[in-house]
Amino acid sequence: MADVEIARSGAVLELTLNRPAKKNALTNAMYRTLTDALSEAARDEGIGVVLIAGAGGVFSAGNDIGDFIAALSGGEMAAADFIRAIAAFPKPIVAAVDGLAVGVGTTLLLHCDLVYATPAARFALPFVDLGLLPEAGSSLLLPRRAGMARASAWLLAGDSFSAEEAREAGLINAVVESDVLLGTAREKAAKLAAKPRAALLAARRFLRGDQAEILTRIDVELDAFRAALASPQAQAALAAFVNKSKQAG
């Protein structure tokens, strides 16, 4: 089975993170697959909406740290290409979130239009705890969406938060039971895809705001993220995380 399953139902393209044994932690290869799929979906006039979900009762535990470090040592950061691609994607994105949504598993939701989560969903942004910095434009978008108090608690203090807290903050649309999560997301995606396309895309563009501002913030964050990666604090925190993961495995 592929680590990212790609399927199409009418005008909806489904991207399923399918690495449940690793809690759908994203590898460089998965990022490349996702980026290529978004690029193709942007060009394909037959696709109106993209739906992102996770297999195995987990959305995503964020980056696969070991793979991430190995890719960086080779000079590759496919995560950056994915972040830019999802931020610039011109069509609606629906997300179905169950279980863990950590790091980029949460920040990518800021670039989705409709997000549904189960009561078991748990969100976390542990960048600072790892000696790193927020990414995916979250330092700009999260305070706008959830307010400065919540953004500070989540991005600075590293507090995790529940699906109900995410709903109250406006990060997700609704909390639904796990047995209807995917069906709900698919229904909403199909309804969006059936709407007059030009009007839908224009309305979305107005709602999303200044794309150039968002992409600029993403690049600024990425520069700072790369610099932070070289710090002794980040190196130690990431090494400890990898060792802990190996012992747990």
Residue 139 within any structural domain of the chain: yes
pLDDT at 199 (0 to 100):
98
At 71, the amino acid letter reads A
Full pLDDT tens readout for the chain, 249 residues: 799 999 999 999 999 999 999 999 999 999 999 999 999 999 999 999 999 999 999 999 999 887 777 766 666 689 999 999 999 999 999 999 999 999 999 999 999 999 999 999 999 999 999 899 999 999 999 999 999 999 999 999 999 999 999 999 999 999 999 999 999 999 999 999 999 999 999 999 999 999 999 999 999 999 998 888 888 888 887 777 766 655 555
Task: Read off the pLDDT of residues 187-206 as tens digits, 9 standing for 90 and up.
Answer: 999 999 999 999 999 999 99
pLDDT at 148 (0 to 100):
98
Tally the domains of the chain: 1
Residue 217 within any structural domain of the chain: no
Residue 200 within any structural domain of the chain: no
Q: How far is CA 208 from CA 53, 135, 202, 213, 236, in A?
A: 21, 18, 10, 11, 37
pTM of this structure: 0.94
pLDDT at 29 (0 to 100):
94
pLDDT at 242 (0 to 100):
66
Residue 214 within any structural domain of the chain: no
CATH number, domain of 120, equals: 3.90.226.10
What is the DSSP pairing of strand 93-97 with strand 114-117? parallel
Residue 168 within any structural domain of the chain: yes
Which residues form the domain of 153? 4-179
Dihedral angle at the C-alpha atoms of 42, 210, 112, 41, nearest 10 degrees?
A: 0
Whether the CB-CB separation of 24 and 52 falls below 8 Å is answered with: no
